[in-house]
Amino acid sequence: MEERLLVTASPHIRDHSTTRGLMGAVVAALMPCVLASALIFGARALLLVAVTALACVAFEALYEWLNHKANTAGDLSAVVTGIILALNMPVNMPLWIAVVGAFVAIVIVKQLFGGIGYNLANPALVGRIVLFLGFTTRMTAYVYPDMAVDALASATPLAGTVDLGAVNFLDMFLGLHGGMLGETCVLAILAGFAILLATGAIQAAIPVSIVATCYILTLLYTGDPYVALMECMGGGLLFGAVFMATDYVTSPFTTRGKLFYGIFIGLVTFLIRHFASMNEGMSFAILLGNLMTPWFNEWGHQKPLGYKKAKKAGKKGGDA
């Protein structure tokens, strides 16, 4: 068989990391959110996560079998997609709808574009958006914990009926309010973030730039630092910034590109939340960021040390 050299975009870095190892680190980082969702919403949260993850693995294996491709289910990327997708649903989501989301994420967004490494957008993110647009009532039918405080017992924190200035910090930090499984408990998200940083799975540039941009813009708009903090702690901003915007395939690879990307997502999220008809704009902001990643890579491309732009050759006087 003829051997061909596959040349890809720089940077070319030698590393001993494997896809399975990186995905394993992400699975470990997601476990605090899975555990927190079970403690807050009950055992059905675990059932939803298990069914969605298994559906993603099954769809990937089945698609590759039907197309006579190597089985990549063992690299854990489908497991990561399934867990993230499940954590983007309310606990009472019908299981069959979760399976539909898994099909969209794995078959349509990932495999039809060529499999891992070729998708244009985060599969779990697109799965969430499709479910939100197609099953809006189900995706917004939040279940509220029995221990939820009165201020958060009848609406999500970002709903217009909630006075964020009156919301208790500890209740928001521990996730004692309604919402998607993975977005409620800030403590669990930060624990996962720490695991990702400690294992070298991600860099802090993207999550920090997203949250900082959204906080600063909200602070300038509202004039209240506490309200700005509550907005950053609610509505999936932290979960999306840590686990979805940092997807390896659909996020920039240069540090400068990551910062442009993060600032862009924070800006779009702020604009949708305050000037559009949706309380939660993080998913659409990340999707736009994913589609613009090639441009961020080009714009943020870092020049080699000592690089000097070549001068254009020109004619002087009567030179030939």
How confident is the model over 221-260, as pLDDT tens digits? 999 999 999 989 887 899 999 999 999 889 998 888 999 9
Sign of CA dihedral 196, 200, 206, 210: positive
For 160-190, what is each residue's pLDDT tens digit? Answer: 545 676 777 888 898 887 788 998 899 999 9
CA distance 37 to 182: 7
Read off the DSSP letter of residue 311. Answer: P
Max Cα–Cα distance, the chain, nearest Å: 88
* pTM (two decimals): 0.84
Q: Determine contact, residues 280/129, Cβ cutoff 8 Å.
A: no
For 60-87, what is each residue's pLDDT tens digit? Answer: 999 999 998 888 888 899 999 999 999 9
Alpha helices by DSSP H, listed for 16-149, are 19-41, 44-66, 77-86, 95-103, 123-134, 136-139
